[in-house]
Chains A and B, each alone.
Chain A
Amino acid sequence: MEITVLPAISELLLLLLILAGILATGIGYIWLNYKIWKYPFYLPLTLLFGISLGGYTYANGASQLAAAFFGTIPFLIGLYFKRGLKGDFKSSTYFLAPAVIGVIFLFLYPLVFEFYLSFRDLSLRTFSDWITTGHVPLADNYGLSNYIEVFQNRATGQSFIFVLWRTIMWTAINLFFHLSVGLVLALLLNAKGVKGVAIYRTLLTLPWVIPQVIAVLVWRADFNESIGFINQFITVVNQLFSFEWSGNVIMPLTWIGFEPKAWFLDGSALFTAACIVNIWLGIPFMMINFLGALQSIPHSVYEAASIDGATWMQKFRHVTVPLLKPVMVPASILGAIWTFNNLNVIFLMTDGGRYEGADILVTDLFKQSFTYYRYGFAAAYSFVIFAILCILTVIQFRVTRPRHASTT
Chain B
Amino acid sequence: MRFSNFLKGALAGLAIAGAAHAAPTKISFWEQDSSEAGKEMDKWISVFEKKNPEYKIVRQHYENEELRSKFLRSSVTGDGADIVYGPNDLAGVFNTAGVIRKVDDLIPANKFNPAALNIVKLKGSTWGIPLSEGNHLMVFYNKKLVKDAPKDFATIIENGKKMTNPAKNEYGLAMFQSEPFWFVPLMGGFDAWPLETKNGQTKVTINTPETVKALQFLVDLKNKHKIIPADCDYDCAKSMFLSGKAPYHINGDWEANAMREKFGADLGVAPLPLVNETGKRATPLLGGRFLFVNKAITDKKLAGVKKFVEFITSKNVQLRMATRLDRIPATLEARNAPELAKVKTLKPLIDSAEFAKASPSEVEMRAAWDGLRIMVQRAMSGKETVAQAVKTGQKAADEALSAIQTEKKTKAH
Contact = CB atoms under 8 A, between A and B. Distances in A.
Interface of A: 1-2, 4, 7-8, 121, 123-131, 133, 135-138, 154-156, 221, 224-227, 262, 264-267, 351, 354-356, 368, 370-374, 377
B98 interface: yes
Given A125-B406, A137-B412, A355 B377 contact: yes
B340 interface: no
B400 A124 contact: no
A124 B236 contact: no
Contacts of B392: 155-156
B377 A2 contact: no
Given A226-B169, A374-B403, A2 B58 contact: yes
Interface stretch (B42-50, B277-285, B299-307): B42-50
Given A124-B97, A125-B408, A262 B381 contact: yes
Contact of A155 (B75, B229, B396, B409): B396
B239 interface: yes
B93 A373 contact: yes
A131 B294 CA distance: 13
Interface stretch (B113-121, B136-144, B153-161, B366-374): B366-374
B411 interface: yes
B45 to A, nearest CB: 5
Contact of B178 (A125, A221, A227, A265): A265
A185 B176 CA distance: 41
Contact of A135 (B98, B380, B408, B413): B413
A225 B382 CA distance: 15
Contacts of A262: 230-231, 381
B235 A154 contact: no
26 contacts: A2-B56, A4-B59, A124-B363, A124-B404, A127-B76, A127-B96, A127-B98, A129-B409, A131-B76, A131-B296, A137-B408, A155-B392, A155-B396, A156-B395, A156-B399, A224-B231, A226-B169, A262-B231, A264-B231, A266-B383, A267-B383, A354-B178, A371-B400, A372-B366, A372-B400, A373-B93
B10 to A, nearest CB: 28
Interface string B345-388: 00000000000000000010011001001100100110100000
Interface in B30-68: 42, 45-46, 49, 56-61
A200 B19 CA distance: 65
Closest 6 interchain pairs by CB? A128-B98, A155-B399, A265-B381, A137-B409, A127-B97, A262-B231
A252 B206 CA distance: 44
Contact of B229 (A225, A356, A371): A225
Among the interface residues A125, A138, A221, which one has the most CB atoms of the partner chain B within 10 A? A125
B413 A138 contact: yes
Contact of A123 (B42, B373, B406): B406
A82 B85 CA distance: 56
Most chain B CB inside 10 Å of its own CB: which residue of A124, A133, A156, A370: A124
B229 to A, nearest CB: 5
Given A2-B58, A125-B96, A372 B404 contact: yes
A182 B409 CA distance: 54
A154 B402 CA distance: 11
Contacts of B60: 4, 7-8
Contacts of B93: 124, 373
A43 B242 CA distance: 76
B374 A226 contact: no
B366 A371 contact: yes
Nearest to B80: A131
Given A4-B59, A154-B399, A226-B231, 4 more contacts: A125-B404, A156-B374, A372-B400, A373-B97
A273 to B, nearest CB: 13
Nearest to A369: B403
A225 B230 CA distance: 7
A356 B374 contact: yes
Contacts of A156: 374, 392, 395-396, 399
Contact of A371 (B99, B370, B383, B395): B370
Interface of B: 28, 42, 45-46, 49, 56-61, 69, 72, 75-76, 93, 96-99, 169, 178-179, 229-233, 235-236, 239-240, 296, 363, 366-367, 370, 373-374, 377, 380-381, 383, 392, 395-400, 403-409, 411-413
B363 A155 contact: no
B412 A129 contact: yes
Nearest to B46: A1
Given A1-B42, A124-B363, A156-B396, A225 B232 contact: yes
Contacts, number: 140
A223 to B, nearest CB: 10
Contacts of B409: 121, 126, 129, 137-138
A335 B69 CA distance: 31
A84 B85 CA distance: 56
Contacts of B230: 225-226, 262, 265
Contacts of A265: 178, 230-231, 377, 380-381, 383
Contact of A226 (B232, B363, B400): B232
A144 to B, nearest CB: 14
Contacts of B49: 1
Contacts of B96: 124-125, 127
Nearest to A123: B406
A135 B240 contact: no
Nearest to B171: A226
Contacts of A130: 76
B47 to A, nearest CB: 10
A266 B56 contact: no
A137 B413 CA distance: 5
Contacts of B97: 124-125, 127-128, 373
Nearest to B178: A265
A12 B71 CA distance: 18
Contact of A1 (B57, B236, B399): B57
A226 to B, nearest CB: 5
B396 A1 contact: no
A1 B233 contact: no
B169 A354 contact: no
| Residue with the greatest number of chain B CB neighbours at <10 A, chosen from A155, A266, A351, A374 | A155
Given A2-B58, A137-B411, A374-B403, A356 B377 contact: yes
Nearest to A261: B230
A227 B174 CA distance: 13
B411 A226 contact: no
B396 A4 contact: no
Contacts of B408: 125-126, 129, 137
A372 B403 contact: yes
Given A128-B97, A131-B76, A136-B412, A224 B377 contact: no
B59 A373 contact: no
B72 A224 contact: no
Contacts of A133: 412
